[in-house]
Structure 1
Amino acid sequence: MIFPLSLNPGPLYKWGAVVMALVLGGCSSMPVYDSPQFEEETMTFQNPNGVRNDKSFGDLMGLAYNYMTRADDPYEKSGFPLITSTRAELATLAEEVLWVGHSTVIVSHGGQTIMTDPVFADRASPFSFAGPKRVTPVPFKLADLPPIDVVVISHSHYDHLDKAAVQELSRRQPELVFVVPLGLKAVLNDWGVSNVRELDWWQNTEVDGMRLTATPVQHWSSRSMSDRNETLWAGWMAEWQDFKFYFAGDTGYSRDFVETRARLGAPDLAAIPIGAYDPRDFMRASHVNPEEAVQILKDVGATKAVPIHWGTYKLTLEPMNEPPQRLRRALEEARLEGQDFIILKHGERVSIQD
């Protein structure tokens, strides 16, 4: 029997644990944060609009049953088209965006490279034997990556924060800067990663002229049953003098995207999630659907966007090929001018200057 790791409505990647593992993480010593997002009474972070992601145990068990008895999805076996790259090919990355898979994106601009949520794991789970399995392989070896200047992390969930990948990146490149939301610096430090900068929403830091700002999104965090919302979640805006890249992280729809544009301006490029949204009543607070992703594109004002968070792990109940299909229909209905999504294959790279 597979059980959820936490009593909340987060994505189903939390369901890769046997019941004995529910206590993993143990009791933590929770610091008090001087942050508008931190609620001292509960010692947890909160969404800015007060939206909470609580569900009953019965609701979760019903969803778990539906997930485990779901209809066969052929893409769970076949995966999606993949473009592989060699070390030599990756070394030529310049003024391009490359979608590795799920929420892992690499953007190269002005001689600098930023990577989002590096996840190379075979399972989005704390376990090697259970949990959502990667259906579309990683397009290259982590060891073949060119030098990375910055890694941004959106939050602590297993399909966004891969301990082994983070440790390997840090080991290979000790000068690499990791920029994370409040609470995650201690986690990475415990993993032996020391070059970490921790930010609250709207705080920023600079790395060799690249300014990184943490932005609010509607989500939650957890890596065990005992640490729900003890670390913050965030989107990220990376700004150069002549280019802006926005990473929406993992999020439900909210007015945060309008505020992000008002404060930081419209990005040239955005990475916006489109998958893991059904059943809708369960996932609405945590994950946008393709139609809401188009609204985010409009809200932030990006010229172009790359859809992420689909086709890599089977996390929820919608068919795995549905998100890009619905996205295309939503774009046709929206009739946007000067804005578009570029639907990439896993491992595909395109110019950010076109």
Structure 2
Amino acid sequence: MVTYSSVVSKLETAADVPEDARLASHHVKGSHGQTVKFKNPHPSAGDTTATVFQMLGKILWARLSGNMSDPDLSNVKIPVVKPDLLTSRTGSTALRATWLGHACYFVEFPSGLRVLFDPVFEDRCTPVQWAGPKRYSPPACSLSELPPVDAVVISHSHYDHLSHTSVQELAKRNPEAQFFVGLGLEKWFHASGITKVTEMDWWQDADLVLQKAKGSEAEDDKTAPDTISARITCLPCQHSSGRTATDRDTTLWASWSVKSGGKSVWFGGDTGYRRVPRVGADVDDYGPEYDSLPRCPQFKQIGELRGPFDLGLIPIGAYSPRWLFSWMHANPYDSVEIFKETRCKRAMGIHWGTWVLTSEEVEEPPKMLKEALKTSGIPETGVFDVCAVGETREF
């Protein structure tokens, strides 16, 4: 098997970034001028200063008042198939993307680069494995069944996107794998025994170079490239972070761009788009009455300054009740707007089909996605799709 060594060069923030990024308006400064936490800098997020306990209180009240109930899982059938992953780095000239559940995607670039986004392979996305949301669709494979991974990209620190167990196993199995994370998370990774970590701010670039070890290839690996390179960019989104009651927003949440071998991917991770007030269940919050609601400008900036992208991995689930979660979780109508603004040529829906996090029926996001695409005049299939857990699509 071919083995590669890896080197990361973090670059200075490029000149072509929005003014608010140059001013670091998403940084919250302490008394001595140091960054102590982060914030969403635009009105589209609204007031996000509520504590963890206040947020939990709102969720509890929504449940007690009948405005947030658990979806019915008795007849859910999310298809799961065995992944068809390449054994050779020169096996395809296409970009290959395999959904491994929720926000986790394994992407194989034509250059030979292999990237894993937001890997969480445990049954529960919680601090413990005896309580909290449990998978209702099984993993398509285990970490041990993946081919060697070159880069692991983490959107933020919430448990459904960052698993201590998964990243430790990945680092153990892939000692040269580089982990790319938002500001503040490097310390957590070092405490977990992982040292190949590149911590980045919004709009920063990093170059990843893989060099083939001499004599490492078997007879059937002779065609593996000597060098593989990629440009990885940390980009904005509208969300939050935290793993305990006391560390909220002390690490940065982000979307990401990865470009290699002439192909590009934008990974949305987890994001909201607009803060929607409480409206009736039959009210269209994209109707004329709500045209004035602020929209997050960052996605249009991403499209204009870093797009277009061959593939967008865009969240479509965990949005109900809307008045509670819209600022941090996109629904499919938001997702289609994000898709258009980031200038993705194609997209796949993520952040659904794995754990119950909110109250919409678990098979609703793909149905609503088709409605949203139709409303925008985009074909309902072949442009922005969903797939089975474990399924691979080529782009």
TM-score range, shorter-chain basis? 0.7 to 0.9
Q: What 5-or-longer segments of structure 1 have no aligned partner?
A: 1-33
> Shift of residue 281 of structure 1?
0.9
In the alignment, does 2:229 pair up with 1:236? no
Summarize the Cα distance change of 1:54–1:97 in structure 2 as closer, same or farther, 3 Å threshold.
Answer: same
Larger RCO, structures 1/2 (Cα 8 Å, 6+ apart): 2
2:80 to 79, 82, 89: 82
Cα distance in 2 for residues equivalent to 1:302 and 1:62: 35
Amino acid at match of 1:294: V
In the alignment, does 2:379 pair up with 1:343? no
> Shift of residue 54 of structure 1?
3.5
User: Could you say which structure has the higher helix fraction?
Assistant: 1
In the alignment, does 2:61 pair up with 1:60? no
Cα distance in 2 for residues equivalent to 1:259 and 1:174: 35
Cα distance in 2 for residues equivalent to 1:79 and 1:65: 30
Summarize the Cα distance change of 1:72–1:186 in structure 2 as closer, same or farther, 3 Å threshold.
Answer: closer
Cα distance in 1 for residues equivalent to 2:305 and 2:96: 26
1:309 to 351, 366, 389: 351
Instruction: Confirm or deny: 8 A CA contact 2:71 2:360 kept in the other structure.
Output: no
Cα distance in 2 for residues equivalent to 1:181 and 1:82: 31
Summarize the Cα distance change of 1:76–1:36 in structure 2 as closer, same or farther, 3 Å threshold.
Answer: farther
Cα distance in 2 for residues equivalent to 1:47 and 1:164: 29
> Shift of residue 36 of structure 1?
4.4
Summarize the Cα distance change of 1:59–1:190 in structure 2 as closer, same or farther, 3 Å threshold.
Answer: closer
Instruction: Confirm or deny: 8 A CA contact 1:125 1:132 kept in the other structure.
Output: yes
Aligned to 1:266: 308
Q: How does 1:9-20 map to 2 (within 5 A)?
A: none
Amino acid at match of 2:59: L
> Shift of residue 207 of structure 1?
1.0
Aligned to 1:293: 335
Cα distance in 2 for residues equivalent to 1:166 and 1:45: 24
Instruction: Confirm or deny: 8 A CA contact 2:83 2:392 kept in the other structure.
Output: no
> Shift of residue 67 of structure 1?
4.7
Q: What 5-or-longer segments of structure 2 have no aligned partner?
A: 1-22, 210-228, 274-295
1:251 to 263, 266, 271: 271
> Shift of residue 46 of structure 1?
1.1
Q: How does 1:267-286 map to 2 (within 5 A)?
A: 267-286=309-328
SS of the residue corresponding to residue 63 of structure 1 reads helix
Aligned to 2:105: 105
Aligned to 1:46: 39
Summarize the Cα distance change of 1:79–1:194 in structure 2 as closer, same or farther, 3 Å threshold.
Answer: farther
Amino acid at match of 2:108: S
SS of the residue corresponding to residue 165 of structure 2 reads helix
Residues 138-169 of structure 1: CA deviation (Å, up to 9, x unaligned): 10111010011111100000000011000000
Instruction: Confirm or deny: 8 A CA contact 1:35 1:200 kept in the other structure.
Output: no
Cα distance in 1 for residues equivalent to 2:81 and 2:371: 25
Cα distance in 1 for residues equivalent to 2:55 and 2:97: 39
Identity %: 37
TM-score in terms of structure 2 length: 0.75
Cα distance in 1 for residues equivalent to 2:192 and 2:186: 10
TM-score in terms of structure 1 length: 0.84
> Shift of residue 350 of structure 1?
1.2
Residues 222-268 of structure 1: CA deviation (Å, up to 9, x unaligned): 00001011000000011125211000111111111100011112101
Which has the greater radius of gyration?
2
Amino acid at match of 1:45: F
Cα distance in 2 for residues equivalent to 1:346 and 1:317: 21
Amino acid at match of 1:54: T
Cα distance in 2 for residues equivalent to 1:72 and 1:168: 32
Summarize the Cα distance change of 1:64–1:238 in structure 2 as closer, same or farther, 3 Å threshold.
Answer: same
Residues 280-338 of structure 1: CA deviation (Å, up to 9, x unaligned): 11101100100000001110111100100001000001111111110011111111379
Cα distance in 2 for residues equivalent to 1:271 and 1:161: 17
Summarize the Cα distance change of 1:316–1:72 in structure 2 as closer, same or farther, 3 Å threshold.
Answer: closer
Cα distance in 2 for residues equivalent to 1:241 and 1:149: 14
Cα distance in 1 for residues equivalent to 2:130 and 2:255: 31
> Shift of residue 81 of structure 1?
1.0
Aligned to 2:26: 37
Amino acid at match of 1:75: L
Q: How does 1:324-335 map to 2 (within 5 A)?
A: 324-335=366-377
Aligned to 1:146: 147
Instruction: Confirm or deny: 8 A CA contact 1:302 1:339 kept in the other structure.
Output: no
Aligned to 1:177: 178
Aligned to 1:11: none
Aligned to 1:210: 230
Deviates more, 1:65-74 or 1:215-224: 65-74
Amino acid at match of 1:218: Q
> Shift of residue 96 of structure 1?
0.9
Instruction: Confirm or deny: 8 A CA contact 1:48 1:216 kept in the other structure.
Output: no
Instruction: Confirm or deny: 8 A CA contact 1:90 1:144 kept in the other structure.
Output: no
Cα distance in 1 for residues equivalent to 2:74 and 2:255: 28
> Shift of residue 35 of structure 1?
5.0
